[in-house]
A and B are shown apart, each in its own frame.
Chain A
Amino acid sequence: MKKVVKIICLLSTLSLIAGNVLAGQKLTMSGSTTVLPIAQKAAEEFMNTNPDVDISVRGGGSGVGVAAIIDGTVDIGNSSRAAKAKEIATARGKGVSMVGTVIAKDGICIVVNKANSINNISLETAKKIYTGEISKWSDAGGSGGTIVVISRDTASGTFEVFNEKVLKGSKVREDAMMLASNQAILTSVSTTPGAVGYIGLGYVTNEVKSLVVNGVTATKETVISGKYPISRPLYMYTNDAPKGLAKQFLDYLLGPTGQKLVEEVGFIAVK
């Protein structure tokens, strides 16, 4: 009996060592938390079909992703914004040429309860609502009495876009509800007459009303073209044009299966 246990232990240790030696190819990426779910999902599926590949995905924020490419510590740097001119210059100084591949688009919809009469909203009004300058629907062109402001946690990628495109750095009113997921916001807005919230385009259902922003309806087309104002491209940066495993991975992500995964996690496919 004891012998059997020993043999099993030995074999499993050996197989672990062997497994590590055999898993030859490694791909590392880090960066934007917005891109994180896409990268994670795609990495999982990619490793399922290519069992000998080991992909490690980390967060850290867009700045971290770009810096990691400049420092050469990762193969792919994820970013939810284009690299800044300063960053590109630093990279060039280190002999790194940054190449960004747009792998998905991110569009955020402003949603209200279905009973609300409002259909259009301007970015300025939305900002005033979220900062607390306006607190009654009658002042914002809608109905439903007091506005119940619902936001995502300030650490989330969704909040990051909203902050960048709508709030432009102003603070959300303190008593705004901060919910932890798109789903939680959807549920709250659909059950609360005076509520306003924002969620990724991929999460919008007919339980809520999605508002026209600055005269543009949020659809896949307007997000892809960039006409819809609360939208942005998501990048994966590489040093020089992607090659080897990084190219394989990006090709996979931009292919039909990869783009389907993009939509599955709530973003807009670019192809």
Chain B
Amino acid sequence: MTSNKKTKELMLEWLFLFFAFLSNILLVGIIIILFKESLPLFKEIKVLDFLLGRHWYPTYDPPEFGILPLILGSLWVTIGSLLVAVPLGLGAAIYISEIASTNLKEILKPAVEVLAGIPSVVLGFFGMVVIAPLLQNIFKLPTGLNALNASILLGIMAIPTITSISEDCISAVPRGFKEASYALGANRWETMIKVTVPAAFSGISSAVILGMGRAIGETMTVLMVGGGAAVIPHSFLQPVRTMTATIAAEMGETAVGGEHYYALFGIAVVLFILTLIFNIIADLVAQRFRKRIV
């Protein structure tokens, strides 16, 4: 009986080991394919010409594969989205964890998280038919499909990530910190701004970086509302083209095994490295946060 039980347990252990490794194997497989499919491009053009080239004309003769406008386009809308999401998301987090009553908190937090569940294509459609005409009228622009529109929508998408994680971190600040502050005569506002939020700062930064990762990897929305012009951005009111939108729009219509195909995989590699860097930074910052609290 006991040996039977043991075999069962062992089998389960192996099963879960398999599950644990499966996702890692998939990840490694994806990385290998990404690099393998992009390498042939660099036999044709130099890596620096690819990364710093200013012209993306993949289907012309001769083609030009410069992705600098695409990289900057992605970073541009990501920065824009943070300008929208950080004040709103952080404000919401502070309110929910420090000010709202328990009842209100129980409604607000899930409600913010529901926002994360809205499909990006729905937001994109909203941006096209509601926000675009609005921006066009307010700023007297030739078109409302631009970096600002994309930034607003990406900001909305990053808010749940930022609010949810920041709120957890603010709530995790030990009671003793606040009590000490009150004991020294600080009022609620002073305690919040000068004690609680700074104590949770590294957790909040990692929330912001994760939100950033969310924004830079988003595809459908920017494809729909970004406007798609592959120029180096110099204003939020002009159309932009991001790396993700380029891959999504062009992958379906390019010949497998052509230069253009390899170039799209090259963009995917750049995107992968950028998001990896964001995630590593977020992880490092979060680790520091844990150490400080303990």
Contact of B133 among A155, A157, A163, A191 (CB under 8 A): A191
**Is B97 an interface position by the 8 A CB rule?**
no
Q: Which residues of B contact A155 (CB under 8 A)?
A: 58-59, 249-250, 252-254, 260
Identity of the chain B residue whose Cβ is nearest the Cβ of A146 in the assembled complex: B142
Pairwise interchain contact B142-A59, C-beta atoms closer than 8 A: no
Contact of A153 among B136, B228, B256 (CB under 8 A): B228
* A178–B56 alpha-carbon span in the complex (Å): 12
**Is A61 an interface position by the 8 A CB rule?**
yes
**Is A184 an interface position by the 8 A CB rule?**
yes
Stretch with Cβ within 8 A of B (4 or more), from A49-57, A168-176, A253-261: A168-176
Q: A149-200: which have CB < 8 Å to B?
A: 153-157, 159-160, 163, 169, 171, 174-180, 184, 187-188, 191-192, 194-195
**Is B223 an interface position by the 8 A CB rule?**
yes
Pairwise interchain contact B231-A174, C-beta atoms closer than 8 A: yes
**Is B71 an interface position by the 8 A CB rule?**
no
Identity of the chain B residue whose Cβ is nearest the Cβ of A34 in the assembled complex: B253
Q: Is the interface of B mostly helix, strand, loop or mixed?
A: loop
* A159–B60 alpha-carbon span in the complex (Å): 11
Contact of A180 among B60, B61, B239, B249 (CB under 8 A): B249
Q: Could you say which of B132, B228, B250 has the most chain A C-beta atoms within 10 Å of its C-beta?
A: B228
With A155-B260, A191-B136 as known contacts, state yes or no: A178 contacts B255, CB within 8 Å.
no
Q: Which residues of A contact B60 (CB under 8 A)?
A: 154, 169, 171
Q: B110-134: which have CB < 8 Å to A?
A: 128-129, 132-133
Q: How many of chain A's residues have a CB under 8 angstroms from any CB in B?
A: 32
**Is A108 an interface position by the 8 A CB rule?**
no
Q: What distance in Å separates the Cβ of B146 from its nearest Cβ neighbour in chain A?
A: 9
Contact of B253 among A64, A146, A157, A179 (CB under 8 A): A157
Identity of the chain B residue whose Cβ is nearest the Cβ of A151 in the assembled complex: B228
**Is A33 an interface position by the 8 A CB rule?**
yes
**Is B143 an interface position by the 8 A CB rule?**
yes
Contact of A175 among B132, B223, B239 (CB under 8 A): B239
* A264–B82 alpha-carbon span in the complex (Å): 42
Q: Which residues of B contact A194 (CB under 8 A)?
A: 142
**Is B35 an interface position by the 8 A CB rule?**
no
Pairwise interchain contact A171-B223, C-beta atoms closer than 8 A: no
**Is A148 an interface position by the 8 A CB rule?**
yes
**Is B109 an interface position by the 8 A CB rule?**
no
**Is B224 an interface position by the 8 A CB rule?**
yes
With A59-B253, A176-B229, A192-B136 as known contacts, state yes or no: A154 contacts B142, CB within 8 Å.
no
A-B contact pairs, 25 of them (CB 8 A): A59-B252, A59-B255, A64-B255, A148-B142, A153-B228, A155-B58, A155-B59, A155-B249, A155-B250, A155-B254, A156-B253, A160-B59, A169-B61, A174-B230, A175-B229, A175-B231, A176-B229, A177-B229, A178-B227, A178-B230, A180-B228, A188-B143, A191-B144, A192-B142, A192-B144
